Structure 1
């Protein structure tokens, strides 16, 4: 299927890779169909791109690569809605708020995007009673280390 994207222009994607978000994403409830694309080759950054609206694209990362000890407990309702049968089916991402300079970019750890990779179903999970922040600095260590000589 042909797709117009925010970051890669016009591309061809396999329909089998389309992720369905039954209720959309908060504030984007009408956007129910997305694909996950690499932002740039060789980086950990991905784009959760709407298949309907080219401007609706979220930069996401695997939080476990950036935040030691990050944990997400999936409620039964999410496990049911996404038809998750085993932990290996689950892919977890968090959305970034990209800032200038890039080292000031933050991640929303309170609302991870949960995907059942086997069923191609996704949902943004809102963890309101969570110790995590909506604007977690993911490059804290890098910034601190850079300043030291």
Structure 2
């Protein structure tokens, strides 16, 4: 594990892991837009995340003012967005969660999993597009 990786604080944890607040995002070998989101409080918890824009370039939604304030976001350059990947036994059936993106402020090292209410995005969008 790269101890030089910055620690991101998720004040409210993430759904399903509300008790975990500190995560690092480790790069994965190869030139792919994925990271391993690893809990510092429970070494057994790691989530594979991907840049949703790499697979769904048309993916967009508005970041609300309250969330910008909560995450201390001043400019678009502060923001990183990741989607959690679900890997079933059959890798070709892998999905990513577009309905609940992870939003990070890369400068302040804080993050939040947003739920996009009133959205047509799926929590099980295909990782491999047809």
Alignment TM-score, normalising by the size of structure 1 = 0.82
Report the structure number with the largest CA radius of gyration.
Answer: 1
Asked if 1:89 is matched to 2:82, the reply is no
Write the mapping of 1:22-41 to structure 2, written as runs, cut at 5 A.
Answer: 22-41=11-30
Unaligned segments of structure 2, at least 5 residues? none
RMSD: 1.3
Structure with more contact order per residue of length (Cα contacts < 8 Å, sep ≥ 6):
2
SS at match of 1:65: helix
**1:54 has 2:37 as partner:** no
Instruction: Name whichever of 119-128 and 95-104 sits farther off.
Output: 95-104
Distance of 1:60 and 1:12 partners within structure 2: 17
From the two aligned structures, give the one with the greater helix fraction: 1
Asked whether the 8 Å contact 2:2–2:26 carries over to 1, the reply is no
Corresponding residue SS for 1:47: strand
Q: Find the aligned partners of 2:32 and 2:54 in 1 and give their Cα distance.
A: 12
* Runs of 4+ with >6 A deviation: none
Gaps of 5+ in 1: 1-10, 142-149
Per-residue deviation at 1:73?
Answer: 1.2
> 3-state SS of the aligned residue for 1:140?
coil
